């Protein structure tokens, strides 16, 4: 009974992942969504279930690499330029690792993984409705994020009469990252009949609408994941390879847009375009990356400290707004700046292990095979690709994704071992 309550609360937590604003409070200077408290209750009940022997904890080599990654953050906190601030951020990192572990432990049953996907898609539906509301309000005359709660600022985009939406997320790029996972799960649920085709079409349309009006370079990750899904599921069909090629090309083009910007007064660096009298310059992301590397040179081995600002880049965007960017806008560089070479090495080992757990082809028609491939493709698009142009290493939904990927790969590995043992019996 206690374990069942823990699972119900966990499903509620998965549903609430996109409900970041206005459902939050400030703790130790950090913005904490109220929905994080659901984890505290779910994990507490899980501990009681273990004490009462309703279940046994499940462990995996995945958590050796997560532990090494956690150790890097712990050392970085001890050696931080501001240990107190880093300590509070470290608690948040431990929460994410705990969320990953709880996901892995509870989702080791295929039936519960299906329930997790349905809960995720329910949260996606709320996100799509919030995005549509923001769009409608914009064209009804509510054109600023002061009177339209679902609107984001334009960031480095040019000024214009168009909406950029972040729904209930903190920013538009995080919305697009979440949608990347959601799109793949919609394809999975529709293919396996977990949701009706009509519902999948409606939800898919609303989700893609949300993604398009996030106007984020993360759209390339969605294109990549969808192209890989079509290729994996329909390998023998004529359109499989063109779909994959289209996804890869769109991903490359989307990433390329993050590297350059029209010529401004922000930097003397210029890139002349041949045959036309126009110039480009390195984008704000490139300038932030350069600034982050300066931090790395100062704190190479263990970083500046967990949660510390690794950049300090002032930039005038095309809309005329002044911005101060303190985040590396890249998973790798953000981790390198905060935790140094040791932290980056731990992160790389974790990624290598996770990539080895991924699968990109369907070997048989079992639901678990499709689930495994879908989670792998979501990981490639949302974690690996989108992490090149933004810092998503602390995104709650991605640590849930990592836990799900670890769980389904364990389920299938155990099933294969059981089959192998059965076949060797006389």
% pLDDT > 90, the chain: 74
Q: Please write the tens of the pLDDT for every residue from 313-338.
A: 888 776 667 888 899 999 999 999 99
Angle at 118 between CA 113 and CA 123, to 5 degrees: 125
Query: Which secondary-structure segment (H or E) carries 376?
Result: helix 367-378
Mention every residue, 6+ apart, whose C-beta is less than 8 A from residue 253: 220
Angle at 122 between CA 118 and CA 127, to 5 degrees: 140
pLDDT at residue 23 tops 90: no
Report the DSSP beta bridge partners of residue 30. Answer: 27
Going by C-alpha positions, the residue among 322, 314, 327 that lies closest to residue 155 is: 322
Distance in Å from the first CA to the final CA of the chain? 41
Q: DSSP letters of 273-332?
A: PTTSS-EEEE-HHHHHHHHHHHHHHHSTTT-S-TT-----EEEE-TTS-EEEE-S-SSHH
State the helix-helix crossing angle for 172-192 and 197-212, rounded to 10 degrees. 160
pLDDT at residue 83 tops 90: yes
**pLDDT value of position 411:** 87
Instruction: Determine the Cα–Cα distance for residues 250 and 242; give it in Å rounded to an integer.
Output: 12
Pairwise pLDDT comparison (421 vs 114), residue with the higher score? 114
Query: Could you give phi then psi for residue 316, rounded to 5 degrees?
Result: -100, 115
In the structure encoding, which two tokens stand for residue 135, read together?
């769009």
Pairwise pLDDT comparison (146 vs 318), residue with the higher score? 146
Q: Please write the tens of the pLDDT for every residue from 354-375.
A: 999 999 988 787 889 999 999 9
* Average pLDDT over all residues of the chain: 91
Q: What is the pTM of this model?
A: 0.94
Distances in Å between the Cα of 133 and the Cα atoms of 89, 147, 148, 425 are 33, 12, 9, 61
In the structure encoding, which two tokens stand for residue 147, read together?
């009177």
Confidence of residue 425 (pLDDT cuts 50, 70, 90): low
């Amino acid at each position: 009974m206690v374990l069942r309550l823990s699972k119900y609360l966990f499903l509620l937590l998965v549903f609430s992942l996109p409900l970041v604003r206005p459902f939050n409070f400030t703790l130790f200077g950090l913005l904490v969504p109220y929905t994080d408290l659901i984890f505290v209750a779910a994990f507490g009940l899980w501990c009681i279930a273990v004490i009462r022997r309703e279940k046994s904890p499940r462990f995996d080599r995945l958590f050796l690499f997560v532990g090494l990654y956690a150790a890097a953050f712990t050392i970085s906190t001890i050696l931080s330029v501001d240990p107190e601030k880093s300590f509070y951020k470290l608690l948040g990192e431990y929460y994410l690792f705990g969320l990953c572990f709880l996901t892995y432990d509870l989702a080791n049953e295929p039936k519960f993984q299906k329930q997790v996907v349905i809960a995720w898609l329910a949260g996606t539906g709320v996100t799509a409705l919030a995005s549509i509301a923001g769009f409608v309000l914009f064209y009804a005359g509510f054109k600023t994020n002061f009177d339209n709660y679902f609107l984001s600022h334009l960031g480095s985009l040019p000024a214009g009469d168009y909406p950029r939406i972040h729904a209930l997320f903190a920013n538009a790029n995080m919305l697009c990252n979440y949608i990347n996972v959601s799109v793949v799960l919609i394809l999975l649920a529709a293919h396996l009949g977990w949701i009706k085709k009509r519902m999948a079409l409606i939800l898919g349309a609303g989700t893609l609408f949300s993604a398009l009006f996030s106007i984020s370079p993360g759209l390339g990750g969605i294109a990549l994941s969808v192209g890989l899904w079509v290729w994996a599921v329909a390998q023998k069909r004529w359109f499989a390879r063109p779909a994959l090629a289209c996804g890869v090309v769109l991903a490359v083009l989307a990433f390329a847009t993050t590297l350059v910007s029209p010529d401004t007064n922000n930097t003397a660096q210029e890139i002349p375009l041949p045959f036309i009298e126009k110039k480009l310059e390195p984008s704000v992301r490139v300038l932030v990356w350069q600034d982050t590397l300066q931090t790395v040179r100062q704190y190479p081995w263990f970083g500046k400290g967990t949660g510390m600002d690794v950049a300090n880049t002032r930039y005038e965007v095309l809309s005329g707004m002044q911005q101060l960017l303190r985040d590396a806008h890249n998973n790798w560089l953000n981790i390198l700046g905060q935790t140094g070479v040791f932290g980056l090495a731990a992160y790389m080992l974790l990624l290598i292990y996770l990539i080895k757990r991924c699968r990109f082809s369907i070997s048989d028609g079992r639901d678990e095979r499709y689930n495994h491939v879908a989670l792998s493709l979501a990981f490639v698009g949302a974690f690996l690709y989108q992490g090149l142009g933004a810092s998503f290493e602390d995104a709650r939904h991605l640590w849930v994704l990592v836990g799900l990927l670890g769980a389904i790969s364990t389920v299938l590995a155990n099933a294969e071992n059981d089959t192998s043992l059965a076949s060797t019996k006389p």
